[in-house]
A and B are shown apart, each in its own frame.
Chain A
Amino acid sequence: MKFSIERGVLLKAVAQAQSVVERRNTIPILANVLIEAEGDAVRFRATDLDIEVVDRAPATVEREGATTVAAVLLNEIVRKLPDGALVTLTDQGASGRLSIEAGRSNFQLATLPKEDFPVMASSEYEAEFTAPAPVLRRLFDKSKFAISTEETRYYLNGVYMHVADGETGRALRCVATDGHRLARVDAELPEGAANMAGVIVPRKTVGELRKLLDDDEALIEVSVSETKVRFATPAITLTSKVIDGTFPDYSRVIPQNNQKRLEVDANEFAKAVDRVATVSSERSRAVKLALDEDRLVLSVNAPDSGAAEEELAVAYGDERLEIGFNAKYLLEIASQVDRENAVFLFNSSGDPALVREGDDLSAVYVVMPMRV
């Protein structure tokens, strides 16, 4: 195998590969990226046995072939090469080395046989559809903060992507929750998605997927089966196992009859929460919200270090209410709000609160109060 490739193109492909390989793994081949040169392109394939990423990059292939080499090491080398350099990778065959040449630099890396590289079995996908990158970006960005890391409820360690009845008809919906808060985000149902099985997309996959979604113009091909999900652009294919479990019935968790309505500038609110929370050093910092006639007083009382209070002008017309929340959760939810105003709907100080962006029902958040 021998091919030449532009350094920037190579870096992009290798960077994606090395983020998939597990840093600590006991199977040496899993630390490697499989490089396959064929026609006028090179494929870079990396896997942790749960996720597989294949990146296809244009290159001048002199001799077709394939080999595997340590992904992290290759990434480090390419990263340090000068911008704009032309990089030539040559499989030395007999010596079991891969040489990397760029300008006057020359590297020789140990390889492992390509036959040992585990390629994820292809599967039959029951549903296939296409969605613009910004749509998927919104679905996952707005829900992923609520993904749980709890080991006992492993089925919460991902985003539940499924088809549901939204406020304006059938929707493609993403839900994540850790029991403290919940995010539910809807998008218009793409053609071909109606028969999709609901799948729990693991946290790591959500992180890898994000790298495919930066380009506003990109169209993402999504394929879903009961055990796997695949996201593909012309250059990159990300295939992942889904979490084998049942996502809980979240619909009963979303409060339906919260009547007390607070409307507040999301940005101002987030900044104020952040400021008052500064005085407390505890892991879970409770912020008290005291609501009265168009007035919101945020306060934190940390017995060991001090107290803080800040008043905000808000729209609130219901009876007095005092309710406490974990500052981190409030901040995370407030930062999801793209529009100016966040609308909070409360019931009592012991009941979960509903948060949404203005009167848009396509993204709603639920957060559990804390006793303060």
Chain B
Amino acid sequence: MDCDAFFANVEKRDNPELADKPVIVGGGRRGVVSTACYLARIRGVRSAMPMFQALKLCPEAVVVKPRFEAYSEASRAIRAMMEEMTPAIEPLSLDEAFMDLTGTERLHGAPPAVMLARLTKRMQDELGLTGSIGLSHNKFLAKMASDFDKPRGFSVIGRAETVELLRPKPVSLIWGVGPAAQAQLDAVGIRTFDDILRWELKDLVKRFGGMGDRLWHLARGEDRRRVTPHDPVKSISNETTFDSDTRDPDILDGHIWRLAEKVSSRAKAKDLVGRVVVLKLKRADHTLLSRRVSLRAPTQIADTIYRTARGLFDARGDAAAYRLLGVGLSELSASASAPSEADLLDPGAAARERAERAADAIRAKFGEAAILKGRALR
């Protein structure tokens, strides 16, 4: 299920004056289109288009600042409706989700197509929002089908017609085949799924590696990925945009510490440890500087994250003023499976970890502000 012009339609629902007007949600700091309603899309406005360009195409459009609270709430309401149909829901974003309806026919007394039609009707009646449905025997085809006749679309791709239906379609429909991959495919004469069918699996793999294997199967309508309700968390990161650009190492140091602490407390809450620490800096001119380093052993300790990120900061080789700083932890694994060996060369680390755990316990009992490091005040 993929909602139609989700942000824009939430705005139209909440403000009936907008109903017949072209609406663009976006603006804010970066000044690009987040979502455009279908009236605006007819004029050529697209997502991720710079706002000035969008307004050139559609000068009478009403530009609305995004209200993520409202979108989240609408998303939760739709999610609740989907949960009545199946527990196997994999959200892709606020307005799009895979549902595995395998084996639900007897439970609901109606086949999936009927249940999905009821879902969109309920969304319209109860929430005032519309969505498009793609129904098929795997994720790749369902996602493709949901785009076939948006808005208020309803497309079904049956197993028997799969290959014939794919044949004439361009490979660019595959999620993940961007311009670069498309150029590579173009170079060997692959433009449509039909072109892929002419290749042997081993030749495709030889030429394109893992992507070749994927293409070969997708062209035959085969996709074995499951609908997984919880995508495992791959990384944890936090960032801050400053009120004014700064190059003051003391101020930046305070930010590194506070962000390290935030990342650490999220990792601790989820019982995760990470092996890679990432430092992200955005210069005043919006260019990005990103540094990452692997740790000796995975960690969730704020002290370690801070020291590592600070080391990356000191070694960044850049003297610009920054508008944003971020700290992240990736290559996560469950903390229980992580080795807990102290470092021969840093005997103090064990004591610092004990101090941090003690401080965590104090905060859990007496509140967040009960105890904090001096450097958090910088």
Contacts and interface: CB of A to CB of B under 8 A. Distances in A.
Interface of A: 148, 150-153, 156, 177-182, 248, 250, 253, 282, 284, 286, 326, 350, 352, 366, 368-371
Contact of A152 (B311, B337, B338, B344): B311
Nearest to A252: B347
A156 B296 CA distance: 11
Nearest to A180: B341
B114 interface: no
Contacts of A152: 293-296, 308, 311
A369 B340 CA distance: 9
Contacts of B346: 179
B343 interface: yes
A178 B344 CA distance: 8
B341 A370 contact: yes
A258 to B, nearest CB: 14
Contacts of A284: 338-339
Interface in B1-26: none
A289 B344 CA distance: 20
A177 B346 CA distance: 12
B342 interface: yes
B341 A369 contact: yes
A369 B341 CA distance: 6
B295 A253 contact: no
A178 B340 contact: no
Interface in B306-351: 308, 311, 337-346
Interface in B96-136: none
A247 to B, nearest CB: 10
Nearest to A304: B337
B341 A178 contact: no
Interface string B282-305: 000000000001111000000000
Nearest to A156: B345
A326 B339 contact: yes
Label chain A's interface by main secondary structure. loop
Nearest to B311: A152
Q: Counting chain A CB atoms within 10 Å of each CB, which of B338, B342, B343 scores highest?
A: B342
B308 A368 contact: no
Contact of B344 (A182, A350, A371): A182
Nearest to A179: B343
A368 B311 contact: no
B294 A368 contact: no
B344 A366 contact: yes
Nearest to A352: B344
A366 B342 CA distance: 13
A162 to B, nearest CB: 17
B296 A150 contact: yes
9 contacts: A152-B295, A152-B296, A180-B341, A180-B344, A284-B338, A326-B339, A352-B344, A370-B339, A371-B340
Contacts of A366: 344
Contacts of A156: 345
A98 B296 CA distance: 47
A276 B75 CA distance: 51
Contacts of B345: 153, 156, 177, 179, 248, 250, 253
Contacts of B337: 282
Contact of A368 (B293, B295, B338, B342): B342
A100 B337 CA distance: 56
B294 A177 contact: no
Contacts of B295: 150, 152
Contacts of A282: 337
Contacts of B342: 350, 368
Contacts of A148: 296
Which 6 pairs of residues, A with B, have the shortest CB-CB distance?
A284-B339, A179-B343, A371-B340, A368-B341, A253-B344, A150-B296
Nearest to A254: B344
B339 A286 contact: yes
B278 to A, nearest CB: 13
A352 B338 CA distance: 19
A131 B2 CA distance: 73
Contacts of A286: 339
B108 to A, nearest CB: 36
A182 B296 CA distance: 14
